[in-house]
Amino acid sequence: MALSRGDIASSPGPDYDKGVQYWQGVEASVDGVLGGYGNGPVPHIDQLSSRLFLLSILPQLHVFSSPLTPLPRPPPYRLVALDVGAGIGRVSRNVLLPLFDDVVLVEPANNFIREAHRSALSDDWPGLSPCINLSPSTPAHDSTIPEQVPPLNKRLLTGKGVYKQVLFVKNGLQTLEPVAPCMNGQVVGQASSQNGTTFPERMLYDVIWCQWCLGHMSHVDLVAFLKRARAALRPSMAFDPLPTPFTPTHPGASGHPHRFTDSGIIVVKENVCEDDPSGDSREILDEQDSSLTRSVGRWREVFEDAGLVVLKEEVQHGMPTGLFTVKTWALR
């Protein structure tokens, strides 16, 4: 369906409840969430390219040094990722948890979020072995967003790299407040490799990962969500004086004895279709799961309306023929 820019807001868009109902009838397995492509090369190709994409845009995530990628000085806080529309936690387990200290996993389908939590507790997730099942300390019923979010997430200044933890929240993106992920949602559980760990009520993120889920949102709802996500990104910050001689690593940092971290990013990884032959952007509605496949031009309109800038984009190679092209964007 080709639409002009003015028609976007009036487009009926997907039926959210129908989409959730569809996925709750799908087997809670890798093969289920990948539509029958879970037993071949697709999961490995997707996971590897996603990790390489993250490492290319956020050098502080590197855990091994090489001549081409010298190991940067780690930031003095725990690295935090938000995985939305996360399904059974495939991306959290294989892409985010090996690189981040804390992961918040959000998924609306009850069968998927329960399986993700169960799988994490089975010592099957890297960094969570031995895994401890903790009672979540963050209230799910809080109905207000705090006026101020601590810019440095000060509680994260301890325990960097010492342990891993994952928070599991049942919620949809239409109602999700990334800065307060448990608000409006149901906390299913928390898994950690260390006893006594907690998540704060307010969060800032180094990465917000959105993959194969944003098609279930209308243009208006998607733009609103991306604006909320942008507000929950960790800002750039200075830390720890470096020994002399000092080499500035941040624009305008000449003569300033600090290193600067990169601010957080949003990653969108989604199927794309071609723009209309007329040159207009378009979208295709899948009646089965009530999701939209947007053209590249339509995605550009989404990002522009959300006030986001594209830092990097790439096409996913190695996928089976006959499928939509998959494209990944890094945004801020």
| pLDDT at residue 65 in the model | 61
CA triple 129-81-177, angle to 5 deg: 125
Least confident of 185-189, 209-213, 275-279, 298-302: 275-279
**Measured torsion, CA atoms of residues 14, 15, 18, 24, in degrees rounded to the nearest 10:** 60
Q: Is residue 250 part of a domain?
A: no
The total domain count for the chain is: 1
Q: Say what percent of the chain tops pLDDT 70.
A: 77
Residue 272 counted as domain residue: yes
What is the distance, to the nearest Å, from the Cα of residue 144 to the centroid of all Cα atoms in its chain? Answer: 23
pLDDT of residue 66: 61
Amino acid 59: pLDDT: 78
User: What pTM was computed for the model?
Assistant: 0.84
pLDDT of residue 167: 97
Looking at residue 12, what is its pLDDT?
Answer: 67
* Average of per-residue pLDDT values in the chain: 84
Q: Is there a domain that residue 71 lies in?
A: no
pLDDT tops 60 at residue 269: yes
Q: Which residues of 135-163 are buried (b: 16+ CB within 10 A; e: fewer)?
A: ebebebeeeeeeeebeebbeebeeeeeeb
Dist. CA 197–CA 195, nearest whole Å: 6
Assigned domain for 253 exists: no
Residue 69 belongs to a domain: no
Inter-residue contact 306 to 173 (CB < 8 Å): no
Regarding beta strands 310-315 and 325-331, do their DSSP bridges make them parallel or antiparallel, or are they unpaired?
antiparallel
**What CATH number corresponds to the domain at position 323?**
3.40.50.150
What is the structure's pLDDT at 85?
98
What mean pLDDT do residues 217-234 have? 97
- Supply the pLDDT for residue 162: 75
Q: Where is pLDDT greater, at 171 or 201?
A: 171
252 within a domain of the structure (yes/no): no
Q: Which range marks the domain in which residue 88 is found?
A: 5-63+76-142+151-240+259-331
